[in-house]
Amino acid sequence: MTWTRWQYCDKRRLLLRSMVAGSSLAVAGGLREVLAQGVAPGVITRDAMRPQLPYGVMSGDVTRDRAIVWSKTDRPSRLVVEYAFDEAMTKPRRIVSPAAMETTDYTARADLTGLPAGRQIFYRVMFQDLSNPSVYSEPLIGRFSTPPARKRTITFAFSGDEAGQGWGINEEWGGYRVYEAMRRFNPDFFIHSGDQIYADGPIQAEAMLEDGTIWKNVVTPAKSKVAETLDEYRGNFAYNLLDVNKRRFASEVPFLVQWDDHETRNNWYPGQQIGEAEKRYQVRSASLLSARAKQAMLEYNPFRIDPADPERIYRTFNYGPLLDVFMLDERSYRGPNTPNQQRMLSEESAFLGRPQMEWLKDQLKRSRATWKGIASDMPISLVVPDLNPDVPKGTYEAWANGDNGAPSGRELEIAELLRFIKRSRIKNVVWFTADVHYAQATYYDPVHAQFNDFKPFWEFVAGPINAGTFGPNEVDRTFGPDIRYVSVPPGNKQNRAPAVGQQYFGIAKIDGATETMRVTLHDLTGKELYKVDLAPEA
């Protein structure tokens, strides 16, 4: 990566010069340290001798006083992060992280702590070559904002589904254009609702479009086959960071990330054995594949790892007095995909699983924020059949089973949760999701539901970021969904390329004065397609 890619306005050019000057001081400091130890420093004769940062920088898991900063290099190196509260970085503070080694594919993260609430933080990232400590990478810059301690307007983006169905990075078309469209809204953070990668979806150099022209993909060895090894999963995550739009977005907007199925394999569940009808896989254990996929996902994202439960995906984020976000994990604890008709809760009907369900109830009840946003990687009422060639027909992948009747199967967990929210008098719960590759706004009304022991609520679906467009799906009527908006028409052609323009994201904006949440759905140009204002329940 060269600096010119990041110099997209005059203000950035000025900032860049100040950053480089500051990093030169850091390099000089490293030289002094090496000389003091009696070690002769290496002489840099060309840029390739420095540690490289091919995938940019990211921030994520931001709280009022903490944030994760992430990057990756190409050799054993030590991550150094400097941060300050002004663009000129006049009084930077320095964090030195553990070494980036082969064991983490040279990815590294720094946990910035003791940050002030409600402030914009500017940072720069460098890697110090462990084989020659006098050699530092060129610095890369980023920024993020910490959640406010007091009420102020909050904006966040949400979407999912990236590099699916063979539609990868087409630089001639403009790459992952949704990221640039979202960036222009200057969101405080971004909810990535899963399917960050399509580990089961190889990408070829060319694909035919509907009009007979050719879509040209960036290709890499890791994306040439279905992912089975740890390095192949790592290569899938690295692939998406080749896109300049995503790198620029990630340097400015913190990520909150969850996973869905394609991080591992389409419609997988724990304990699944991939059948012989699926010829592309040599590794047949979905549990083994998912363990590799999860390791790669945690390595390639700005997750804050919990030492007590280092593989845990579900977690809560407070974003000040107006918003709590509950990130769910609907993969790790589910039962098998079945006809989804069980009449009692069991391990077979599980979707969240009992520990996660009790955690979610407790967190919702404890929340004092005006709005409670549940980030669910799968929609509640959209029917998603499991169409893999190695599974029986008539099995289902998501919450709904399509029978339009009383809750059964995985719907039993939704019914339990909705009943709890009502009886605990929890207010202002809104669901944000992706997975189905189109956009939708749904109002759930107990008056029209087969199960009606719940308070009305909204669910918003967005995506894909860069994948084939599908839908609209069949709708299960168990919980009384009133479909207020759908971005694709009935009978829409399936797996439409990004070039058609049916790529979608959502923006939620909570007004700091009125506390009203405005949710809008947008296409890849940023054009507003649907808008609704949600007044907070008193």
Count other Cβ atoms within 10 Å, centred on residue 348: 14
pLDDT of residue 38: 32
Q: Is the pLDDT of residue 43 over 50?
A: no
What's the confidence (pLDDT) of residue 26?
38
| 156-534 CATH choice from 3.55.40.20, 3.60.21.70, 3.90.180.10, 3.40.50.2000 | 3.60.21.70
Q: Contact, 526 vs 503, CB < 8 A?
A: no
- Give the pLDDT score at 48: 75
Q: What is the share, in percent, of the chain residues with pLDDT greater than 70?
A: 91
**Straight-line distance from the first to the last Cα atom of the chain, in angstroms, rounded to the nearest whole number:** 51
Domain boundaries, the chain: 3-145, 156-534
pLDDT tens per residue, range 406-463: 999 999 999 999 999 999 999 999 999 999 999 999 999 999 999 999 999 999 999 9
pLDDT of residue 8: 35
Contact 166, 201 (CB under 8 A): yes
Nearest to 23 by CA among 67, 89, 86: 89
Taking alpha carbons only, the member of 234, 267, 262, 258 closest to residue 103 is 234
**31: pLDDT strictly greater than 80:** no
Asked if residue 199 lies in contact with residue 262, where contact means CB atoms within 8 angstroms, the answer is yes
Tell me which of 390 and 536 has the higher pLDDT.
Answer: 536
Q: Left if phi > 0, otherwise alpha if psi is -120 to 50, otherwise beta: which for 52? A: beta
What pLDDT score does 33 carry? 36
Is it the case that residue 89 has pLDDT exceeding 90? Answer: yes
Mean confidence (pLDDT) of the chain: 92
- Of 111, 109, 103, 119, nearest to 152 by C-alpha is 119
Q: Span 192-214, mean pLDDT?
A: 97
Where does the pLDDT of residue 16 fall: very low under 50, low under 70, confident under 90, or very high at 90 and above?
A: very low
Which helix (H) or strand (E) element contains residue 17? helix 10-36
Q: What is the pLDDT of residue 538?
A: 85
**pLDDT computed for residue 189 by the predictor:** 98
Grouping H, G, I as helix, E, B as strand and the rest as coil, residue 192 is strand
CB 272 within 8 A of CB 292: no
The pLDDT, as a whole number, for residue 28 is 35
**Cβ atoms within 10 Å, residue 454:** 22
Q: Letter for the amino acid at 243?
A: D
- pLDDT, one tens digit per residue, over 66-78 is 999 999 999 999 9
Q: For residue 96, give every residue at least 6 positions away whose Cβ sits within 8 Å of its Cβ, in sequence order, or none.
A: 78, 79, 80, 110
Position with higher pLDDT, 523 vs 42: 523
For residue 46, what pLDDT band results from cuts at 50, 70 and 90?
Answer: low
Inter-residue contact 292 to 231 (CB < 8 Å): no
Going 327 to 332 to 336 to 342, the CA torsion angle's sign is negative
Whether 524 and 177 have beta carbons less than 8 Å apart is answered as yes
Q: Say what the pLDDT of residue 425 is.
A: 98
- What's the rounded mean pLDDT across residues 304-313? 95
Question: Can you tell me which residue has the tokens 């850091």?
Answer: 26
Nearest to 258, CA basis, from 313, 210, 308, 298: 313
Share of the chain above pLDDT 90, in %: 90
Over residues 24-46, the mean pLDDT reads: 38
The H or E element that residue 469 is part of is none
Q: How far is CA 195 from CA 71, 139, 293, 322, 386, in A?
A: 21, 30, 12, 28, 16
Alpha helices in 379-513 (DSSP H): 411-423
Flag whether pLDDT at 15 surpasses 90.
Answer: no
Residue-level pLDDT at 504: 98
Q: How confident is the model at residue 34 (pLDDT cuts 50, 70, 90)?
A: very low
Q: Which helix (H) or strand (E) holds 34?
A: helix 10-36
Paired tokens of 267: 């419609």
d(CA 281, CA 291): 16
**Average pLDDT estimate for 248-272:** 98
Tell me what pLDDT residue 86 has: 96
pLDDT for 37 beyond 50: no
pLDDT of 254 > 50? The answer is yes
Overall average pLDDT of the 8-33 stretch:
37
Fold topology of 3-145: Immunoglobulin-like (2.60.40)
Whether the pLDDT of residue 25 is over 60: the answer is no
CA gap 391, 374 in Å, rounded: 30
Those residues with Cβ within 8 angstroms of residue 270's Cβ, 6 or more apart along the chain or in another chain: 286, 287, 290, 331, 332, 333, 334
Q: Does residue 116 register a pLDDT over 80?
A: yes
